[in-house]
Amino acid sequence: MQRDAPDKTTLFKRRIPVFNAYTMAGEYLLCNNQSNFKFPFRRFHSGFFSESHILRLPVPYLNRTNSRMKGKKHLLNGLFFGMMIGWALGFLRLPYLEKNDSFLLGFIAALAIVSLTLILVTAWKRGFLPGLLGKKTVTEDAQKTRTHTVIWSILVGILVLGGVMGGLGVYRQIESSRLQIQNQEKKLQKMAALVEAVKKNDPAPLMRSILYDIGEELKRNPGRTLCDSTIARIAALSFSFTPYKYVEGDSLSEKACSPGRGQLLQALVLMKIDSGSFARIKENTRFAGADLRGASLNGSDLSGIDLQDANLKDAQLSGVNLKGADLGGANFWGANLNKANLSLTNLKKADLRWALLNEASLIMTNLNGANLANAQLIKADLSGTTVRWAQSGGALFNEANLTKVSFVGTNLTKAALRQANLSNTDFRLVHLSEADLVGVLMDSTLVDGDWLEKLKEWRPAGAKALQEIYTIKNDTAKLDKRILYRLIKI
Domain that holds residue 122: 93-197
From 461, 453, 449, 474, select the one nearest 420 (Cα to Cα): 461
Query: Based on the domain organization, do 45 and 110 belong to the same domain?
Result: no
113, 157: one domain: yes
Q: Both 191 and 119 in a single domain?
A: yes
Four-point Cα dihedral 150, 152, 158, 161, nearest 10: -90
State yes or no: pLDDT of 338 exceeds 90: yes
The number of distinct structural domains making up the chain is: 2
With vertex at residue 431, the alpha carbon angle to CA 429 and CA 436, rounded to the nearest 5 degrees, is: 135
Say which range, 122-136, 307-321, 357-371, 389-403, has the weakest mean pLDDT: 122-136
Domain assignment of residue 48, yes or no = yes
3-class DSSP state for residue 409?
coil
Is 202 among the domain residues? no
Predicted local distance difference test score (pLDDT) of residue 256: 86
| 97 and 193 co-located in one domain | yes
Among residues 197, 222, 238, the one where a domain terminates is: 197
> Among candidates 313, 482, 447, which has minimal Cα distance to 470?
447
Range with lowest mean pLDDT among 6-10, 79-83, 132-136: 6-10
**331 assigned to some structural domain:** no
pLDDT greater than 90 at residue 319: yes
Of the residues 197, 216, 234, which one is the last residue of a structural domain? Answer: 197
- Do the Cβ atoms of 347 and 368 come closer than 8 Å? no
Query: Count H helices, E strands: the chain?
Result: 13, 9
Q: Output the pLDDT for position 153.
A: 64
Residue 96 has pLDDT above 60, yes or no: no
pLDDT of residue 157: 65
97 with 160, same domain? yes
Are 110 and 167 in a shared domain? Answer: yes
Same domain, 103 and 51: no
Tell me the pLDDT of the chain averaged across its residues.
Answer: 78
237 pLDDT higher than 60: yes
Is residue 135 in some structural domain? yes
- Taking 70 as the threshold, does the pLDDT of residue 466 lie above it? yes
Instruction: Decide if 149 is inside a domain.
Output: yes
* 397 close to 376: Cβ distance less than 8 angstroms: no
Residue 156 resides in a domain: yes
pLDDT at 11: 43
For residue 306, pLDDT beyond 90:
yes
Percentage of the chain exceeding pLDDT 90: 50
- Asked whether residue 139 is assigned to any structural domain, the reply reads yes
pLDDT greater at residue 144 or residue 375: 375
Query: CB 99: neighbour CB atoms within 10 A?
Result: 8
Q: What is the pTM (predicted TM-score) of this model? A: 0.62
Q: Are residues 137 and 52 both part of a single domain?
A: no
Task: Give the model's pLDDT for residue 46.
Answer: 42
Same domain, 98 and 191: yes
**What Cα–Cα distance (Å) separates residue 159 from each residue in 81, 116, 480?**
22, 11, 75
Please indicate, yes or no, whether residues 112 and 190 belong to a single structural domain of this protein. Answer: yes
Q: CB of 483 within 8 A of CB of 476?
A: yes
Q: Are 418 and 438 in contact (CB under 8 A)?
A: yes
The per-residue pLDDT for range 187-215, each reduced to its tens digit, is 777 777 666 655 555 677 888 999 999 99
Is 38 inside a domain boundary? yes
Percent of the chain with pLDDT over 70: 61
153, 178, 197 - which closes a domain:
197
State phi, psi for 473 to the nearest 5 degrees.
Answer: -125, 140
Given a cut of 60, whether residue 254 has pLDDT beyond it is: yes
State the number of CA atoms in the 13 A half-sphere of 484 facing the CB.
18
